[in-house]
Amino acid sequence: MATFKEFRNSVKPNWCPGCGDFSVQAAIQRAAANVGLEPENLAVVSGIGCSGRISGYINAYGVHGIHGRSLPIAQGLKMANRELTVIASGGDGDGFAIGMSHTIHSIRRNMDVTYIVMDNQIYGLTKGQTSPRSSEGFVTKSTPKGSIERDMKPLELALAAGATFVAQTMSSDLKGMTSLIEQGLNHKGFSLINVFSPCVTFNKINTYDWFKEHVKNLSDIEGYDPADRIAAMRVLMETDGLINGLIYQNTEREPYESLVKGFREEGLAKQDLSFDADRFQQLVSEFM
């Protein structure tokens, strides 16, 4: 069984020193090893932005996609090879701006993919502009007088869209983040894990200290039941989404792949896809 070191490669990350994404990468590698994966069993798909680089820093199959499109690629991989464990990743701009429609439809579709969002409330790679997760009044290069828009509530949207696994954690909590990613990988269905991953260069508001002061732990809420969807929505609204832990999980709903009739368990690479001329003509005739 592979160790987390076997999910490392020789490519050195070039994130800013102190960036939360270093911890996210380490948590993915540790979680993959802890659930018993081998590097050839894992595919990591990313979008654009600082977080988009993560697919190249992990020893596994990697795809660096285009802005907001990591989820369509990840779902295509899963449909082509059900035997792969597929992780999609990106930032809050990638997943909650240009890619928001893909995020919502992936959630409601419930394909067996784990989506890890590195949420820093700003566009970091393009040098510090307001993102959909920036708070009202947030001052950036694109909003010098402060943002007049409200910040998006992605986890509330996820619950409304029918999510079967919703969790949130902080990059400063490596142990807790690793545990949640493990749970997401083991969940049969779409798993959304939002990670507060501070941008130390351009976001001087939502810092490590800020999150430590404002984020509450679900473990401190006596009797909280992550199977209770109404309670999950209530706690998100009461805390303004500043909560850490497994927020909601539905283990009863089947993943998308299990509902597709005739969908084989083995990947395309192991299937005999050849057919003779008669079969080809039969297929063509269906479209004539």
Domains and CATH numbers, the chain: 4-285 (3.40.50.970)
DSSP H or E run through 6: none
pLDDT at position 91 is 94
Please answer whether residues 113 and 141 qualify as being in contact, where contact means their C-beta atoms are separated by less than 8 angstroms.
no
pTM over 0.85: yes
pLDDT on residue 232 = 98
* 8 A C-beta contact, residue 244 and residue 218: yes
Order of strands, edge to edge, in the sheet holding 243-249?
61-64, 42-46, 85-91, 114-119, 191-196, 165-170, 243-249, 216-217
Could you tell me if 248 and 166 are in contact, meaning their C-beta atoms sit under 8 angstroms apart? yes
User: Residue 1: what pLDDT?
Assistant: 80
Give 123's strand partners.
129
Spell out the residues 6+ positions from residue 154 whose beta carbon is closer than 8 angstroms to its own: 92, 95, 96, 103, 117, 133, 192, 194, 241
Structure confidence at residue 14 (pLDDT): 92
Whole-angstrom Cα distance, residue 246 to residue 165?
Answer: 8
The per-residue pLDDT for 274 is 83
Helix (H, G, I), strand (E, B) or coil at 196: strand
User: What 3 state SS string does 136-167 have?
Assistant: CCCCCCCCCCCCCCCCCCHHHHHHHCCCCEEE
From CA 107, how far away is CA 17, in angstroms rounded?
A: 33
Tokens of 163: 């999510």
**How many whole angstroms separate alpha carbon 87 and alpha carbon 102?**
15
Task: Give me 258's structure tokens.
Answer: 């299990």
What local confidence, expressed as pLDDT, does residue 115 receive? Answer: 98
| Helix (H) / strand (E) containing 25 | helix 21-34
Q: Which two tokens stand for residue 193?
A: 């894990």
Q: What is the pLDDT of residue 247?
A: 98
Q: What is the pLDDT of residue 265?
A: 84
pLDDT of residue 104: 96
pLDDT of residue 241: 97
Burial of residue 85 (CB within 10 Å: 0-12, 13-18, 19+) is: buried
Q: In a structure prediction context, what are the per-residue pLDDT tens digits for the chain, which is 288 residues long?
A: 889 899 999 999 999 999 999 999 999 999 999 999 999 999 999 998 899 999 999 999 999 998 889 999 999 999 999 999 999 999 999 999 999 999 999 999 999 999 999 999 999 888 999 999 999 999 998 999 999 999 999 999 999 999 999 999 999 999 999 999 999 999 999 999 999 999 999 999 999 999 999 999 999 999 999 999 999 999 999 999 999 999 999 999 999 999 998 888 888 878 888 888 888 899 899 988
pLDDT of residue 279: 84
Q: pLDDT value at position 68?
A: 87
Specify the pLDDT at position 280.
87
